[in-house]
Structure formats: structure tokens, C-alpha cells
Amino acid sequence: MFLFRRGTGRLTPEQARTRTGDGTAVLLDVRETQEWRAGHAPGAVHLSLSRLAAGAALPPDVRDRPVVAICRSGNRSQQAAKLLASRDVDAVDVTGGMKAWAEAGLPVVDERGQAGRIA
């Protein structure tokens, strides 16, 4: 049974935080490395869309779990969710991406765990 409709669902930042907060689903940040380092959601896992599209496998701690993809504004994460769904991964994305996440007042940290920014 799937938590999400494969590759077609979109969540608000608040819904994404709720669904990933208990550890059942994982927040997968698909931005490029420099964007990730500047600021990401605490607990998110990083795998860029460019690597994913090139055939990179999901990290071991993400496999067999529903995925909530997030990027800067929602475009790349929507592509990632569709790509993951084509690989039989239960995936949705976050409408508005990290920009909307930060605007909702949700935490953003940099690679050192300090206050981050959306690059």
C-alpha cells in the first residue's frame, strides 16, 4: 500500500514536514550540491536531480520508503517525483520547494547545522 499517488501528488511544505517528521517518508532534496550546502531542511537526504536522472540509485536509507522530493521552487522536485515513480518508488513533491518551506517559517540549516539560506 502506498502513502502517496505515484509521482502525481504535491504536498505543501507543512504537509511534507508532517509526513516526513515521523520517519516513515523521507525528504529528498534534489538540488545541486552548492544549493544543498547553503541551506536545506533538517533531516533531508541529498541526491541531485542531475545524478538521479543519470541513473544514480537512491541512498540505502531511502530505499523502500516513500519519498517527498524537494528543490528550490518545485520544478525539479516534480521531475524527480515522476522519475522516481517510473522506477516504482512511492514519490510526491513539495509545491513551491525550499522557497515555500522557508516562507512557511520551517527550519533551514546549512551543511554545518547552522542557520542556512535558500540559494
Catalytic site positions: 71
How far is residue 82's CA from residue 79's CA, in Å, rounded to a whole number?
5
Classify 81 as helix, strand or coil.
helix
Tell me whether residue 114 is exposed, middle or buried, using C-beta atoms within 10 angstroms of its C-beta: 0 to 12, 13 to 18, 19 or more. Answer: exposed
Cell of 106: 520551517
d(CA 21, CA 35): 22
